Amino acid sequence: MSAGMQALGMGPALLFCPGDRPDRFRKAAERSDAVILDLEDAVGPESKSQAREAVRAADLDPERTLVRVQDASAPGFDDDLAAVAASPFRTVMLAKAESAAQVDRVVAAVPGARVVVLCETARGVLAAEQLAAHDAVVGMMWGAEDLVASIGGTSSRDESGAYRDVAMHARSRILLAAAAFGITAIDAIRADIQDLEGAHAEAVDAAASGFGAKAAIHPSHVEPYRRAFAPTDAELEQARRILDAATRNPGVFSFEGQMVDEPILRHARSVVARAPRSAG
Protein backbone atom coordinates (compact mmCIF):
# COMPACT_ATOMS: atom_id res chain seq x y z
CA MET A 1 0.00 0.00 0.00
CA SER A 2 1.23 3.46 -0.83
CA ALA A 3 2.35 5.85 1.87
CA GLY A 4 -0.55 8.14 1.03
CA MET A 5 -3.21 5.47 1.48
CA GLN A 6 -1.62 4.55 4.82
CA ALA A 7 -1.87 8.20 5.86
CA LEU A 8 -5.68 8.29 5.66
CA GLY A 9 -6.45 4.57 5.56
CA MET A 10 -10.21 4.71 5.02
CA GLY A 11 -10.78 3.12 1.62
CA PRO A 12 -11.55 4.59 -1.81
CA ALA A 13 -15.20 5.68 -1.55
CA LEU A 14 -15.88 8.61 0.81
CA LEU A 15 -19.48 9.79 1.16
CA PHE A 16 -20.63 13.23 2.30
CA CYS A 17 -23.62 13.39 4.64
CA PRO A 18 -25.29 16.61 5.87
CA GLY A 19 -24.41 17.26 9.48
CA ASP A 20 -27.98 18.23 10.34
CA ARG A 21 -29.33 14.84 9.22
CA PRO A 22 -28.32 12.44 12.00
CA ASP A 23 -31.01 10.05 10.76
CA ARG A 24 -28.77 9.45 7.73
CA PHE A 25 -25.42 9.12 9.50
CA ARG A 26 -25.40 5.37 10.09
CA LYS A 27 -26.82 4.51 6.69
CA ALA A 28 -24.19 6.70 4.98
CA ALA A 29 -21.45 5.00 7.00
CA GLU A 30 -22.76 1.54 6.12
CA ARG A 31 -22.93 2.36 2.39
CA SER A 32 -19.41 3.80 2.06
CA ASP A 33 -15.83 3.20 3.09
CA ALA A 34 -15.94 6.35 5.21
CA VAL A 35 -18.52 9.05 5.88
CA ILE A 36 -17.83 12.79 5.86
CA LEU A 37 -20.19 14.56 8.28
CA ASP A 38 -20.60 17.98 6.70
CA LEU A 39 -20.84 21.21 8.69
CA GLU A 40 -20.19 23.38 5.63
CA ASP A 41 -22.06 23.57 2.31
CA ALA A 42 -24.65 20.89 3.04
CA VAL A 43 -25.96 22.75 6.11
CA GLY A 44 -27.83 26.05 5.98
CA PRO A 45 -26.98 28.88 8.40
CA GLU A 46 -30.14 28.25 10.40
CA SER A 47 -29.15 24.61 11.00
CA LYS A 48 -25.47 24.97 11.93
CA SER A 49 -26.03 24.66 15.71
CA GLN A 50 -28.24 21.62 15.24
CA ALA A 51 -25.60 20.02 13.00
CA ARG A 52 -22.82 20.63 15.52
CA GLU A 53 -24.86 18.98 18.26
CA ALA A 54 -25.56 16.01 15.98
CA VAL A 55 -21.84 15.60 15.31
CA ARG A 56 -21.06 15.71 19.04
CA ALA A 57 -23.61 12.97 19.70
CA ALA A 58 -22.87 10.79 16.65
CA ASP A 59 -22.13 7.15 17.41
CA LEU A 60 -19.96 6.17 14.45
CA ASP A 61 -16.59 4.50 14.03
CA PRO A 62 -13.98 7.28 14.45
CA GLU A 63 -11.61 5.37 12.16
CA ARG A 64 -14.11 5.70 9.29
CA THR A 65 -15.51 9.16 9.97
CA LEU A 66 -14.38 12.64 8.93
CA VAL A 67 -15.98 15.96 9.82
CA ARG A 68 -15.84 18.79 7.29
CA VAL A 69 -15.72 22.15 9.05
CA GLN A 70 -16.27 25.54 7.48
CA ASP A 71 -13.40 27.62 6.17
CA ALA A 72 -11.25 29.52 8.63
CA SER A 73 -12.83 32.88 7.73
CA ALA A 74 -16.39 31.73 8.47
CA PRO A 75 -18.06 33.17 11.59
CA GLY A 76 -18.80 29.67 12.89
CA PHE A 77 -15.37 28.17 12.32
CA ASP A 78 -14.37 28.08 15.99
CA ASP A 79 -17.78 26.66 16.93
CA ASP A 80 -17.30 23.89 14.36
CA LEU A 81 -13.91 23.03 15.85
CA ALA A 82 -15.35 23.02 19.37
CA ALA A 83 -18.01 20.56 18.23
CA VAL A 84 -15.39 18.25 16.75
CA ALA A 85 -13.26 18.50 19.89
CA ALA A 86 -16.28 17.39 21.95
CA SER A 87 -16.98 14.49 19.60
CA PRO A 88 -15.18 11.13 19.24
CA PHE A 89 -13.88 12.16 15.80
CA ARG A 90 -10.39 13.41 15.07
CA THR A 91 -10.15 13.46 11.28
CA VAL A 92 -11.06 16.99 10.22
CA MET A 93 -11.61 18.14 6.65
CA LEU A 94 -10.78 21.84 6.41
CA ALA A 95 -12.86 23.56 3.73
CA LYS A 96 -11.19 26.13 1.49
CA ALA A 97 -7.80 25.56 3.12
CA GLU A 98 -5.25 28.19 2.14
CA SER A 99 -2.40 28.18 4.67
CA ALA A 100 -0.54 26.16 7.25
CA ALA A 101 -1.64 28.72 9.86
CA GLN A 102 -5.24 27.62 9.30
CA VAL A 103 -4.24 24.01 9.90
CA ASP A 104 -2.52 25.15 13.10
CA ARG A 105 -5.86 26.54 14.30
CA VAL A 106 -7.49 23.15 13.76
CA VAL A 107 -4.72 21.35 15.64
CA ALA A 108 -4.86 23.83 18.53
CA ALA A 109 -8.61 23.38 18.94
CA VAL A 110 -8.88 19.62 18.32
CA PRO A 111 -6.28 17.58 20.23
CA GLY A 112 -4.84 14.82 18.07
CA ALA A 113 -6.44 16.15 14.90
CA ARG A 114 -5.64 14.49 11.59
CA VAL A 115 -6.38 17.06 8.91
CA VAL A 116 -7.56 16.65 5.34
CA VAL A 117 -7.12 19.95 3.52
CA LEU A 118 -9.70 20.77 0.86
CA CYS A 119 -8.04 23.02 -1.73
CA GLU A 120 -10.83 24.75 -3.62
CA THR A 121 -9.62 28.33 -4.09
CA ALA A 122 -6.79 29.81 -6.13
CA ARG A 123 -4.84 30.54 -2.94
CA GLY A 124 -5.39 27.01 -1.69
CA VAL A 125 -4.14 25.40 -4.89
CA LEU A 126 -1.06 27.63 -4.96
CA ALA A 127 -0.35 26.72 -1.31
CA ALA A 128 -0.65 22.97 -1.98
CA GLU A 129 2.96 22.14 -1.16
CA GLN A 130 2.94 24.21 2.04
CA LEU A 131 -0.25 22.50 3.18
CA ALA A 132 0.96 19.01 2.29
CA ALA A 133 4.14 19.54 4.31
CA HIS A 134 2.25 20.18 7.57
CA ASP A 135 2.77 17.36 10.09
CA ALA A 136 -0.95 17.12 10.92
CA VAL A 137 -2.11 16.82 7.31
CA VAL A 138 -2.91 13.24 6.26
CA GLY A 139 -4.82 13.95 3.07
CA MET A 140 -5.60 16.50 0.37
CA MET A 141 -8.73 16.97 -1.68
CA TRP A 142 -9.53 19.46 -4.40
CA GLY A 143 -12.86 21.04 -5.36
CA ALA A 144 -13.67 22.16 -8.88
CA GLU A 145 -16.72 24.40 -8.64
CA ASP A 146 -15.55 26.56 -5.72
CA LEU A 147 -12.15 26.86 -7.37
CA VAL A 148 -13.51 28.11 -10.68
CA ALA A 149 -15.89 30.48 -8.87
CA SER A 150 -12.95 31.86 -6.86
CA ILE A 151 -11.21 32.97 -10.07
CA GLY A 152 -14.32 34.45 -11.68
CA GLY A 153 -15.29 31.50 -13.86
CA THR A 154 -18.75 30.09 -14.40
CA SER A 155 -18.23 26.36 -14.93
CA SER A 156 -15.47 23.83 -14.25
CA ARG A 157 -16.45 21.65 -17.23
CA ASP A 158 -16.83 22.27 -20.94
CA GLU A 159 -19.73 21.33 -23.19
CA SER A 160 -18.51 17.72 -23.44
CA GLY A 161 -18.46 17.31 -19.67
CA ALA A 162 -14.67 17.27 -19.45
CA TYR A 163 -12.87 19.44 -16.91
CA ARG A 164 -11.47 22.71 -18.22
CA ASP A 165 -7.69 23.10 -18.24
CA VAL A 166 -7.57 25.19 -15.06
CA ALA A 167 -9.47 22.52 -13.14
CA MET A 168 -7.17 19.79 -14.44
CA HIS A 169 -4.16 21.88 -13.43
CA ALA A 170 -5.51 22.15 -9.88
CA ARG A 171 -6.28 18.42 -9.78
CA SER A 172 -2.74 17.59 -10.86
CA ARG A 173 -1.20 20.09 -8.43
CA ILE A 174 -3.01 18.53 -5.47
CA LEU A 175 -2.15 14.99 -6.59
CA LEU A 176 1.55 15.81 -6.97
CA ALA A 177 1.76 17.68 -3.66
CA ALA A 178 0.11 14.80 -1.81
CA ALA A 179 2.40 12.26 -3.44
CA ALA A 180 5.50 14.33 -2.68
CA PHE A 181 4.72 14.26 1.05
CA GLY A 182 3.31 10.72 1.24
CA ILE A 183 -0.28 11.58 2.07
CA THR A 184 -3.60 10.60 0.50
CA ALA A 185 -4.92 12.49 -2.52
CA ILE A 186 -8.73 12.51 -2.75
CA ASP A 187 -10.41 13.25 -6.06
CA ALA A 188 -13.31 15.72 -6.21
CA ILE A 189 -16.98 14.81 -6.17
CA ARG A 190 -18.96 14.33 -9.37
CA ALA A 191 -22.06 16.51 -9.22
CA ASP A 192 -24.04 14.57 -11.87
CA ILE A 193 -25.67 12.01 -9.59
CA GLN A 194 -27.43 10.06 -12.33
CA ASP A 195 -24.38 9.55 -14.56
CA LEU A 196 -23.04 6.33 -13.04
CA GLU A 197 -20.95 5.50 -16.11
CA GLY A 198 -19.32 8.90 -15.93
CA ALA A 199 -18.69 8.47 -12.21
CA HIS A 200 -17.01 5.13 -12.86
CA ALA A 201 -14.89 6.47 -15.72
CA GLU A 202 -13.75 9.44 -13.64
CA ALA A 203 -12.85 7.15 -10.74
CA VAL A 204 -10.94 4.80 -13.07
CA ASP A 205 -8.83 7.75 -14.15
CA ALA A 206 -8.38 8.85 -10.52
CA ALA A 207 -7.16 5.42 -9.46
CA ALA A 208 -4.85 5.06 -12.46
CA SER A 209 -3.43 8.55 -11.85
CA GLY A 210 -2.56 7.86 -8.22
CA PHE A 211 -5.45 9.19 -6.15
CA GLY A 212 -6.13 7.11 -3.05
CA ALA A 213 -9.84 7.88 -2.82
CA LYS A 214 -12.71 9.80 -4.39
CA ALA A 215 -15.51 11.68 -2.64
CA ALA A 216 -19.20 11.25 -3.41
CA ILE A 217 -22.31 13.25 -2.62
CA HIS A 218 -24.70 10.36 -3.31
CA PRO A 219 -24.51 6.70 -2.26
CA SER A 220 -25.15 5.56 -5.84
CA HIS A 221 -21.57 6.56 -6.69
CA VAL A 222 -19.99 4.32 -4.04
CA GLU A 223 -20.20 1.09 -6.04
CA PRO A 224 -18.77 2.61 -9.26
CA TYR A 225 -15.93 4.12 -7.22
CA ARG A 226 -15.12 0.86 -5.46
CA ARG A 227 -15.20 -1.00 -8.74
CA ALA A 228 -12.91 1.58 -10.34
CA PHE A 229 -10.29 1.46 -7.61
CA ALA A 230 -10.24 -2.34 -7.43
CA PRO A 231 -8.13 -3.86 -10.23
CA THR A 232 -9.80 -6.21 -12.69
CA ASP A 233 -8.99 -9.91 -12.40
CA ALA A 234 -6.81 -9.64 -15.51
CA GLU A 235 -4.90 -6.64 -14.15
CA LEU A 236 -4.36 -8.34 -10.80
CA GLU A 237 -3.18 -11.58 -12.40
CA GLN A 238 -0.76 -9.72 -14.68
CA ALA A 239 0.65 -7.68 -11.79
CA ARG A 240 1.20 -10.77 -9.67
CA ARG A 241 2.91 -12.57 -12.53
CA ILE A 242 5.27 -9.64 -13.07
CA LEU A 243 6.13 -9.52 -9.37
CA ASP A 244 6.63 -13.26 -9.29
CA ALA A 245 8.97 -13.05 -12.30
CA ALA A 246 10.92 -10.29 -10.54
CA THR A 247 11.80 -12.71 -7.71
CA ARG A 248 13.64 -14.85 -10.27
CA ASN A 249 15.15 -12.01 -12.30
CA PRO A 250 17.08 -9.40 -10.32
CA GLY A 251 17.48 -6.05 -12.03
CA VAL A 252 15.93 -5.15 -15.37
CA PHE A 253 14.45 -8.08 -17.28
CA SER A 254 12.15 -8.93 -20.20
CA PHE A 255 8.70 -10.33 -19.47
CA GLU A 256 6.38 -11.35 -22.30
CA GLY A 257 7.99 -8.85 -24.64
CA GLN A 258 7.93 -5.99 -22.13
CA MET A 259 10.93 -4.49 -20.42
CA VAL A 260 10.40 -4.55 -16.66
CA ASP A 261 12.30 -2.13 -14.45
CA GLU A 262 11.60 -0.57 -11.07
CA PRO A 263 8.82 1.84 -12.24
CA ILE A 264 6.94 -1.09 -13.79
CA LEU A 265 7.36 -3.06 -10.57
CA ARG A 266 5.99 -0.13 -8.57
CA HIS A 267 2.96 -0.03 -10.86
CA ALA A 268 2.43 -3.74 -10.27
CA ARG A 269 2.73 -3.32 -6.51
CA SER A 270 0.14 -0.54 -6.62
CA VAL A 271 -2.28 -2.79 -8.52
CA VAL A 272 -1.89 -5.56 -5.94
CA ALA A 273 -2.31 -3.06 -3.08
CA ARG A 274 -5.65 -1.92 -4.54
CA ALA A 275 -7.05 -5.45 -4.62
CA PRO A 276 -9.86 -6.18 -2.13
CA ARG A 277 -8.51 -8.00 0.90
CA SER A 278 -10.61 -11.06 0.10
CA ALA A 279 -8.72 -11.29 -3.19
CA GLY A 280 -5.41 -11.45 -1.29
**Residue 43 amino acid letter:** V
129 assigned ligand-binding residue: no
The DSSP bridge partners found for residue 69 are 94
User: How far is the C-alpha of 155 from the C-alpha of 149, rounded, in Å?
Assistant: 8
Q: Residue 216: which H helix or E strand, with range?
A: strand 213-216
Sign of CA dihedral 167, 170, 187, 19: negative
Phi, psi of 68 (to 5 degrees): -90, 120
80 assigned ligand-binding residue: no
Contact 138, 113 (CB under 8 A): no
Q: Residue 55: which H helix or E strand, with range?
A: helix 48-57
User: How far is the C-alpha of 74 from the C-alpha of 209, rounded, in Å?
Assistant: 33
Indicate the burial class of 119 (C-beta count within 10 angstroms; 0-12, 13-18, 19 or more): buried
Angle (CA) 146 147 152, round 5°: 95
Q: What does the DSSP assignment read for 145-194?
A: HHHHHHTT-S-SB-TTSPBPHHHHHHHHHHHHHHHHTT-EEEEPP-S-TT
165 assigned ligand-binding residue: no
Q: Indicate the annotated binding residues for substrate.
A: 68, 120
Which residues sit in the known binding site? 68, 120, 146
The annotation places the binding site for Mg(2+) at 120, 146
